[in-house]
């Protein structure tokens, strides 16, 4: 009697130090994951199972339609046409692992909350663990954030909505979402921004004058050869980054990709026209809209000087572009006396806050940021009480 097929499963190859997917009657499929990356290998297995599985909706009764069927149809048919198909792809392995065996009708608020609890207890997959890495054990790795769980449940909700719209489900099931993280209140004052720029340029607060005003000086560092070392010149790229973020409101990643000439990958700066293009020529748009923004006269003057000192990118370190700005940013932040909540994103937040406090309309701020007027009003509206002065004046001047 023939042995029954075991189905798709993970198999560890000691020779290659890789997890493989072994499926009956098919060649082994590589996952690209080493022994210590079992969680990532499990995700690859879930993706493999999703590709080979054929959904069956029957008569559309949510009590008889599996969650995995809904996710597969949404991923195959609709996700490629969305603004962020990568979000759907990254969410599927986790949703599939937790909701395997569950029907759509099983998605009660308690089950959805259980998913959020389970997901936020997992370590972030982007960190590697072991000797020589930042974290030696899995317990030290930061956990998945609540916003990730919220985003993944949003994918599940969209998948159910799509199945119902396509008449594959008799009725939709509402997915209970965890509370959204409160909007960031922290922004840089003008004096804090000045301190951060000074710190990035190598200046340090060495004392206070009799009036209590801080005195900033650049320490003199003498090298072994007896000459003055330009040690702090190495952090000038951080000052460029800060000025670009404060005066354009551009996101962290987009600033680091900026070049001096038009490109198909990343934005570029047109100094002649005075425009910063956040998106490359012919580059597709994402959900984070990257609209062009004019350069202020002050920033344009800075950039003309920077261009003569650069190779290809606006932000460079020793002639090379950067993927991230972490260590140098933290050095400047600590020297400026600012807390851990001051991340690179605070530059965009400060740009919007300053604009609203100066009386710029929400619509114009939204255009400059590449977002919607509603988001600007919801996040930054409390910084502009003067916009409501006409209301209170009309009430107080009304006839009795």
Q: Looking at residue 346, what DSSP letter applies? A: H
- pLDDT score, position 389: 66
Distance between CA 36 and CA 250 in Å, rounded?
37
Instruction: Detail the DSSP E strand segments found in 174-304.
Output: 204-208, 214-217, 268-270, 275-277, 293-294
- pLDDT score, position 52: 65
Token look-up 């395997």 returns: 100
pLDDT tens by residue, 275-334? 999 987 766 555 456 789 999 999 999 999 999 999 999 999 988 998 888 889 999 999
pLDDT tens by residue, 307-316? 999 999 999 9
pLDDT tens by residue, 235-279? 789 999 999 999 999 999 899 999 999 988 789 999 999 999 998
Token couple for 266:
């990343």
Residues in CB range of 257: below 8 A, 6 or more apart: 265, 266, 267, 313, 321
- pLDDT score, position 2: 47
pLDDT tens by residue, 18-71? 888 887 667 888 888 888 888 888 888 877 776 666 777 889 999 999 998 999
Q: Are 238 and 329 in contact (CB under 8 A)?
A: yes
- pLDDT score, position 135: 79
Q: How many CB atoms lie within 10 A of CB 295?
A: 20
Token look-up 């140098």 returns: 328
Q: Is 287 exposed, middle or buried (0-12, 13-18, 19+ CB in 10 A)?
A: exposed
Q: Reduced to 3 states, what is the DSSP secondary structure of residue 167?
A: coil
Distance between CA 138 and CA 122 in Å, rounded?
9
Distance between CA 232 and CA 399 in Å, rounded?
66
Check pLDDT > 60 for residue 123. yes
- Fold observed for domain 190-340: hpI Integrase; Chain A (1.10.443)
Token couple for 142:
């930061």
In 219-326, which residue ranges form alpha helices assigned H by DSSP?
Answer: 236-248, 252-256, 297-307
Instruction: Name which of 18, 134, 151 is nearest 82 in CA terms.
Output: 151
Token look-up 């000459």 returns: 227
In the chain, which residue ranges form alpha helices assigned H by DSSP?
Answer: 38-52, 67-73, 85-99, 109-120, 146-165, 190-200, 236-248, 252-256, 297-307, 327-335, 346-357, 362-369, 373-380, 389-396
Q: Are 265 and 280 in contact (CB under 8 A)?
A: yes
pLDDT tens by residue, 140-189? 888 888 888 999 999 999 999 999 999 999 999 999 887 766 656 789 99
- pLDDT score, position 280: 78
For the chain, the structural domain boundaries read 53-165, 190-340
Distance between CA 369 and CA 293 in Å, rounded?
8
pLDDT tens by residue, 101-118? 899 999 999 999 999 999
């Amino acid at each position: 009697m023939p042995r029954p097929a075991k189905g798709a499963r993970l198999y560890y190859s000691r020779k290659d130090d890789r997890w493989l997917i072994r499926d009956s009657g098919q060649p082994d499929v590589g996952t690209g994951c080493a022994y210590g990356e079992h969680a990532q290998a499990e995700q690859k297995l879930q993706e493999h199972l999703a590709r080979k599985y054929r959904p069956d909706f029957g008569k559309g009764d949510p009590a008889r339609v599996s969650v995995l069927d809904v996710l597969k149809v949404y991923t195959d048919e609709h996700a490629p046409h969305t603004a962020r198909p990568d979000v759907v792809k990254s969410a599927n392995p986790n949703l599939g692992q937790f909701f395997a065996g569950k029907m759509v009708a099983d998605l009660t608020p308690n089950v959805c909350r259980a998913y959020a609890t389970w997901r936020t207890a997992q370590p972030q997959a982007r960190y590697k663990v072991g000797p020589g890495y930042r974290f030696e054990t899995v317990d030290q790795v930061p956990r998945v954030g609540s916003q990730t769980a919220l985003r993944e449940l949003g994918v599940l909700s969209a998948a159910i909505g799509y199945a119902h719209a396509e008449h594959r489900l008799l009725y939709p099931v509402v997915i209970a979402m965890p509370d959204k993280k409160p909007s960031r209140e922290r922004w840089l004052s003008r004096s804090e921004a000045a301190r951060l720029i000074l710190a990035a340029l190598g200046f340090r607060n060495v004392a206070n004058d009799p009036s209590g005003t801080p005195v900033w000086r650049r320490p003199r560092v003498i090298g072994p050869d007896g000459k003055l070392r330009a040690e702090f010149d190495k952090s000038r790229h951080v000052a460029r980054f800060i000025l670009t973020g404060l005066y354009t409101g551009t996101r962290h990643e987009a600033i680091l990709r900026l070049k001096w000439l038009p490109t198909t990958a990343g934005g570029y700066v047109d100094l002649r026209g005075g425009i910063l293009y956040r998106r490359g020529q012919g580059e597709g748009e994402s959900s984070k809209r990257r609209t062009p923004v004019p350069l202020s006269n002050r920033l344009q003057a800075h950039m003309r000087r920077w261009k003569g000192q650069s190779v290809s990118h606006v932000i460079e370190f020793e002639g090379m572009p950067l993927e991230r700005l972490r260590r140098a940013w933290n050095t400047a932040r600590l020297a400026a006396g600012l807390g851990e909540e001051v991340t690179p994103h605070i530059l965009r937040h400060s740009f919007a806050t300053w604009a609203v406090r100066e009386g710029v309309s929400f619509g114009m701020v939204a255009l400059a940021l590449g977002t919607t007027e509603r988001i600007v009003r919801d996040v930054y509206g409390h910084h502009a009480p003067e916009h409501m002065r006409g209301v209170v004046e009309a009430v107080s001047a009304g006839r009795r």
